[in-house]
Structure 1
Amino acid sequence: MRHTRRWPASLAVIVVLGLQLAVPPQLMDLPRWLLPAFGAGLLVPLVWTNPLRLHVDEPWLRKVELILLAVLVGINAVYLLEMIVYLGDDSTDGLVLVKAALLIWVTNVVAFAVWYWEIDRGGPFARMPEHEHEEERADLLFPQMTLDLPGWQGWLPGFTDYLFVAFTAATAFSPTDTMPLTARAKTLMGFQSGVSLLTIAIVAARAVNVL
């Protein structure tokens, strides 16, 4: 079933870790491979235990994934701060700035997509119909959950649905068709929208300065 697949989330994280290697050296004093290597080390036990589908429910694995997400978001925040500092440099290269902004924006979308996927109703294992534990309350209200139409009964979101939520939050700077219900979901979406808005604003400011 679509909602039991882990590989889309794992692939998305691997792509983001690879993007960290493409961050312009002007924005990072440390070796560019150091932080991606740390994040990859956290990803290994997740892929090793559940490479394609979710079949082993280990609470510590979810903690590792949340730590990984915190590391990714933290790295992204550092890059954003470095980009703000770089913007004030008289020798600012516009191409470097645009490249950095794109990497930060994509990382922001993917990291928060995985974060929504991990926290909503207790995580992907807790959302499985066959799960023995009591289902936690929903963090996100998808439109499919409110439909009373044939074919949508028992619908469960997959990673693509959370990726779309993260994408729309990063482009509209607010919820669109899917509403955050809990305080933690609102906090995450607010932070994600703020990072996206600031990233785009920096590029816009540079463009205005050039004109």
Structure 2
Amino acid sequence: MQQHPSRSTPSEHRWPSVVALVIALALYAALPNAFLGPLRFVVVVFGLALLVPLVIANPHRLTRLTPFTKWTSIILAGGLVVANQVTLVFLLVALAVGRADDAHGLLLSALQVWVANVIGFTLLYWELDRGGPVMRTMAARADLPPADFRFPQDEDDDAVTEVAARSSAVRDWMPRFVDYFYSALSNSMAFSATDAMPLSPRFKLLMALQAFGGFLILALVIARSVNILG
């Protein structure tokens, strides 16, 4: 896909998403054997196997979009989210049946799952909103799919000059990986949207699922661990 001549925003770098994904896969590999066993390495192999062709297609900047790269990216992000929900269930089952008597190990596992959850939803939001990272920077705004998120920059063009200078209308601004990461991180801590507002039903459901998972981890798993420590 060639960049539309009316667009001034540069294409995104590949490496922020790669680094985040590698961190998430490393967290899975480091999970205690009691929760996922060998299945955690299936997640790691699955993630790396899908990541390699994506890096080959866009090694430095995200400028090429094909049906293969689009759906591989979505499957990779969605697979990580699904795997994390399964891992969360394993954690809760371990608590319910009384096998989670290692408080320190449980706290560490909860932290690992929580961080991986933030990264997984970050990748999924980043891949889905407005057609994905390639579409957002390469296509004309009129050709973009409807937005799933409304960021503050999307409505700041009538603010004071120094604020409006960063707005979508003035600067041709588009959200990048760090913007989706911040939104996913704040949603996991506040259990509600605090930065980007979800516009579509699918993003409202995804944010609700992420917030519910974060609530279970922070409110139930950590609370149980503190009770064991006490």
Moved more, 193-202 or 32-41: 32-41
User: Residue 165 of structure 2 aligns with which residue?
Assistant: 150
User: Residue 224 of structure 2 aligns with which residue?
Assistant: 205
Preserved CA contact (<8 Å) 1:2 1:158: no
Q: Structure 1 residues 172, 2: closer, same or farther in 2, change over 3 A? A: farther
1:121-200 alignment, distance < 5 Å: 121-131=130-140, 134-148=143-157, 149-152=164-167, 153=170, 154-200=172-218
1:1-211 alignment, distance < 5 Å: 4-30=12-38, 32-87=40-95, 88-89=97-98, 92-131=101-140, 134-148=143-157, 149-152=164-167, 153=170, 154-201=172-219, 202-211=221-230
TM-score, structure 2 as length reference:
0.85
Q: Structure 1 residues 44, 131: closer, same or farther in 2, change over 3 A? A: farther
Preserved CA contact (<8 Å) 1:125 1:131: no
Moved more, 131-140 or 95-104: 131-140
**How many Å separate the matches in 1 of 2:139 and 2:195?**
28
Residue ranges of structure 2 left out of the alignment (5+ in a row): 1-8, 158-163
Structure 1 residue 146: deviation in Å? 0.5
Structure 1 residue 204: deviation in Å? 1.2
TM-score, structure 1 as length reference:
0.92
Moved more, 84-93 or 44-53: 84-93
Aligned to 2:134, what secondary structure does the other structure show? Answer: coil
RMSD over aligned CA atoms reads 1.9
- Percent of paired sites with the same residue: 36
The count of corresponding residues between Structure 1 and Structure 2 is 211
